């Protein structure tokens, strides 16, 4: 199940890139007043970071810290249960694809011991669209029943799980979490991923509350959709970006155009600028 042995040497390019991003970009964006700009930067940074780690690993590059590979969703879920079972403080999770309903009493008891008996905090951030998936919604409800805290955002950067301060599970393929994951232990990327998680957590909406709207009456997803629309993204591209169905995208676009009094997408973009929506 696990792949290549522990790697211990420095990957200077990745190290320097992470340091530069954390020093010059991350704190600057988090300190700005434009939360949407900061969130887009965070999404791009996280995806780039995970892709870089995966590419370098598959190319045989070496890292600071240890790296292990787990192939397939079942292996990842098993490993996450093991890591959370050994956690001393907290598990932080992006995406319900990394949380699996227990398929046995033993698995359920294991999670319950982690949360209830050992007092480990579990926080999860899902994408808004997970409410339309009965399996993912069931996993979220089960996790909440154990005392886990769950919030949602319109768009997540990539599935991942963080255990305590030094371990992260990141996908081999950010577009397909079922392929498997890399476990980073003591890797420099873990600190950056923790910072990104905390930014999304404080800007997310509790999963059992409706998404808050801004002063223009736009929800976070509508705001992201409008920006994608104005940037010329197709409906299909917006589906992939936002993790929602084509039907939902088209319905939301039609609603935004009606509210703007626009008869075309181009006109909607012009009107959005005039109204101060963009």
Render pLDDT for 46-83 as a digit per residue (tens, 0 to 9). 777 787 888 777 777 665 568 889 999 889 988 988 89
- Mean per-residue pLDDT for 220-246? 78
Please name every residue paired with 2 in a beta bridge, in sequence order, or none if there are none: 70
Q: What percent of the chain has pLDDT over 90?
A: 10
With tokens 């970071």, the residue in question is 49
Burial grade of 191 (CB within 10 A; 0-12, 13-18, 19 or more)? middle
Q: How many CA atoms lie within 13 A of 265 on its CB side?
A: 14
Give the residue among 136, 2, 120, 163 at the shortest CA–CA distance from 69: 2
Please name every residue paired with 124 in a beta bridge, in sequence order, or none if there are none: 93, 150
Write out pLDDT tens, residues 98-154.
Answer: 776 676 667 777 777 777 777 888 899 988 777 666 777 777 788 888 888 889 887
What pLDDT, on a 0 to 100 scale, did the predictor assign at position 23? 37
- How far CA 254 is from CA of 232, 245, 276, in Å, comes to 15, 14, 19
* The most confident of 37-46, 83-92, 237-246, by mean pLDDT: 83-92
**Left (φ > 0), alpha (ψ -120 to 50) or beta: where does 147 sit?**
left
Long-range contacts of 24-28 (CB under 8 A, 24+ apart): 26/192, 26/195, 26/196
Please name every residue paired with 29 in a beta bridge, in sequence order, or none if there are none: none
The residue ranking higher by pLDDT, 223 or 164, is 164
Write out pLDDT tens, residues 188-216.
Answer: 788 888 988 998 898 888 887 665 666 77
* Model pTM score: 0.63
Angle (CA) 59 64 70, round 5°: 55
- How far CA 143 is from CA of 71, 118, 205, in Å, comes to 24, 15, 17
pLDDT band at 28 (very low <50, low <70, confident <90, very high): very low
What is the average pLDDT value for the chain, to the nearest integer?
A: 75
């Amino acid at each position: 199940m696990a792949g290549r042995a522990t790697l211990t040497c420095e990957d200077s390019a990745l190290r320097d890139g992470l340091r530069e991003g954390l020093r010059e970009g991350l704190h600057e964006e988090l300190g700005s007043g434009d939360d949407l700009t900061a969130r887009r930067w965070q999404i791009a940074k996280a995806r780039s970071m995970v892709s870089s780690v995966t590419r370098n690993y598959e190319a045989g590059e070496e890292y600071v810290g240890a790296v292990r590979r787990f192939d397939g969703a079942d292996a990842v879920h098993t490993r996450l249960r093991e890591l959370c079972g050994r956690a001393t403080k907290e598990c932080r999770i992006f995406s319900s694809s990394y949380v699996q309903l227990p398929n046995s009493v033993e698995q359920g008891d294991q999670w319950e011991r982690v949360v209830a008996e050992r007092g480990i905090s579990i926080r999860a951030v899902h994408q808004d669209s997970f409410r339309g998936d009965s399996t993912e919604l069931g996993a979220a409800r089960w996790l909440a029943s154990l005392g886990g805290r769950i919030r949602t955002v319109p768009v997540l950067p990539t599935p991942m799980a963080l255990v305590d301060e030094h371990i992260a599970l990141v996908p081999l393929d950010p577009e397909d979490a079922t392929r498997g994951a890399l476990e980073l232990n003591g890797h420099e990327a873990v600190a950056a991923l923790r910072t990104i998680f905390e930014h999304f957590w404080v800007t997310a909406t509790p999963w059992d509350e409706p998404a808050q709207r801004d002063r223009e009456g736009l929800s976070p997803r509508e705001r992201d959709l409008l920006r994608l629309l104005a940037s010329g993204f197709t409906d299909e591209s917006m589906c992939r970006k936002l993790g929602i169905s084509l039907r939902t995208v088209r319905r939301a676009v039609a609603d935004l155009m009606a509210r703007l009094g626009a008869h075309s997408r181009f006109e909607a973009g012009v009107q959005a600028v005039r109204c101060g929506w963009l």
